[in-house]
């Protein structure tokens, strides 16, 4: 059988053009969604007496037979099939005869490929959300485990303030929480059915788009047929979501890389997530963290590819739009795999608290807390900031820390301060006193963890 669209043509396609034109090698993964969409469409056609009930039953039985044959490997696609939509329709006609030619009544490949892709992405969003929730659960467990253990908070990669490890974990919890919320928003905007929009202008046949929408689990049919077949915003939005989430993974993976270095030795990554060197037998390389850090570039590229394809395309459908799937599939696959790998690696990574504790007396981590303590004594913050800055300079000149400054040295810095007025400036006191909402005090981190757990239970 020739191409189902070839009636107007005298010549078959050039073989090179046929290969260049075909999308079957990547859109064949949509076969389930294509068959589901066709079954809903046929039920609607029968309900509205556009085809008979008997014809509907024959077509649906044929489609289910084709599904079984695809899954068993009996049907193998090739470039002569052009795309998954034509491949299934061709097989259907071969399977059940001329009645199969009625399947494509009141629809086009333009709306057909759109409903397939939306159905597929809705399933993928559900799967991605599941692995993101798993990652969040790992984060909550780790945050609880290390709730009161102190580490160093950095700004500009310089020692800044002491924080708890649990607090740091909960900062990433918020990032991935936003990723999940963005997925939910995208799902909601995507959850409208384009089937029945046809090529671009709807149809003269008396179809019921609300019925097909309901059968396929959509909120409602899309409003405008022309927009329905040319819209790829939902794909771009999902690619944007993937890029942001992969950036979050990449940021944390970068911290894993330097935390794992000999200079830091803050963490021990499980052997199963590391590799060795082909020449240096002592090496234990954080390759999974590095690879996760790098994967974001791939997803960024996928996003920019589709943005570039869509730029300047006029209404309504253009063949350019065939290029909407490969990068999208790649990004979805990469994102999903990266979340799972990272979550499992995180679960099996432990912090070397003794090594971290060795670093807590470096970098004047309690400087801000001293300034705030002076504020409580009535000294304006800007003056307090200046006083502590001079204290740091004296300590650096004398190779000592704040606790070693004498009353004489403190009075030379500012007449208002003394060792007694410094109060408890231990690192643990600094952490425990940061009780402001969203702060790093263990008591406040426990509240954040409980809020996180409640949020997980509700989604």
Annotated catalytic residue within 72, 156, 278, 436: 156
**Cβ neighbour number for residue 77 with a 10 Å cutoff:** 19
Phi/psi for 159 (5° steps) reads: -55, 130
Phi/psi for 236 (5° steps) reads: -65, -40
Burial readout 349-366 (b: 16 or more C-beta within 10 A, e: otherwise): bebeeeebeeebeebbbb
Q: Are strands 267-268 and 220-221 parallel, antiparallel or unpaired?
A: unpaired
C-alpha dihedral (87, 93, 99, 104), degrees to nearest 10: 20
The radius of gyration computed from the CA coordinates of the chain, to the nearest angstrom, equals: 31
Annotated catalytic residue within 52, 53, 277, 428: 277
The rounded distance, in Å, linking the Cα atoms of 293 and 107 is 44
272 catalytic? Reply is: no
Q: Locate 438 and state its tokens.
A: 């969203």
Q: Locate 301 and state its tokens.
A: 């590229």
Reference 452, options 206, 184, 145, 133; nearest CA is: 133
Length of the chain: 459
Q: Are strands 150-155 and 158-164 parallel, antiparallel or unpaired?
A: antiparallel
Residue 162 β-bridge partners: 152
Q: Cis peptide before 86, with omega less than 30 degrees from 0?
A: no
| Maximal CA-CA distance, the chain | 102
Q: Locate 152 and state its tokens.
A: 């160093």
The rounded distance, in Å, linking the Cα atoms of 432 and 107 is 65
85 catalytic? Reply is: no
Please give the positions annotated as active site.
156, 277
């Amino acid at each position: 059988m020739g191409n189902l669209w070839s009636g107007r043509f005298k010549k078959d396609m050039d073989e090179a053009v046929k290969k260049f034109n075909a999308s079957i090698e990547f859109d064949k993964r949509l076969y389930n969604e294509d068959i589901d969409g066709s079954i809903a469409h046929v039920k609607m056609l029968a309900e509205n007496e556009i085809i008979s009930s008997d014809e509907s039953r024959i077509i649906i039985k044929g489609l289910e037979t084709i599904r079984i044959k695809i899954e068993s490997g009996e049907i193998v696609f090739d470039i002569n099939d052009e795309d998954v939509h034509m491949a299934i329709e061709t097989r259907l006609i071969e399977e059940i005869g001329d009645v199969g030619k009625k399947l494509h009544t009141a629809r086009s490949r333009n709306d057909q490929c759109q409903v397939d892709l939306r159905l597929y992405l809705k399933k993928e969003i559900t799967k991605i959300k599941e692995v993101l929730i798993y990652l969040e659960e790992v984060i909550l467990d780790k945050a609880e485990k290390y709730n009161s253990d102190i580490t160093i908070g950095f700004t500009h990669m310089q020692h800044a303030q002491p924080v708890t490890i649990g607090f740091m974990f909960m900062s990433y919890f918020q990032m991935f929480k936003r990723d999940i919320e963005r997925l939910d928003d995208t799902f909601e905007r995507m959850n409208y059915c384009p089937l029945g929009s046809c090529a671009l202008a709807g149809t003269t046949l008396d179809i019921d788009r609300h019925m097909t929408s309901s059968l396929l689990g959509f909120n409602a049919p899309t409003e405008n047929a022309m927009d329905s077949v040319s819209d790829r915003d939902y794909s771009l939005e999902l690619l944007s979501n993937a890029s942001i989430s992969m950036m979050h993974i990449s940021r944390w993976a970068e911290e894993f890389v330097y935390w794992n270095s000999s200079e830091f030795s803050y963490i021990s990554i499980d052997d199963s997530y590391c590799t060795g060197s082909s020449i240096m037998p002592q090496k234990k390389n954080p390759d999974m963290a590095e690879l996760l850090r790098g994967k974001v570039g791939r997803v960024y590229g996928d996003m920019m590819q589709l943005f570039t394809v869509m730029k300047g395309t006029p209404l309504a459908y253009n063949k350019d739009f065939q290029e909407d799937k490969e990068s999208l599939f790649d990004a979805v696959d990469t994102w999903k795999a990266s979340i799972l790998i990272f979550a499992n690696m995180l679960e099996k990574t432990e912090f070397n608290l003794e090594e971290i504790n060795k670093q807590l007396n470096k970098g004047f981590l309690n400087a801000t807390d001293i300034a705030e303590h002076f504020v409580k004594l009535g000294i304006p913050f800007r003056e307090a900031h200046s006083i502590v800055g001079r204290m740091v300079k004296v300590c650096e000149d004398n190779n000592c820390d704040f606790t070693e400054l004498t009353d004489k040295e403190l009075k030379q810095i500012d007449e208002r301060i003394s060792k007694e007025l410094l109060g408890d400036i231990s690192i643990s006191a600094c952490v425990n006193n940061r009780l402001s909402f969203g702060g790093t005090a263990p008591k406040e981190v426990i509240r954040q963890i409980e809020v996180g757990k409640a949020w997980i239970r509700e989604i």
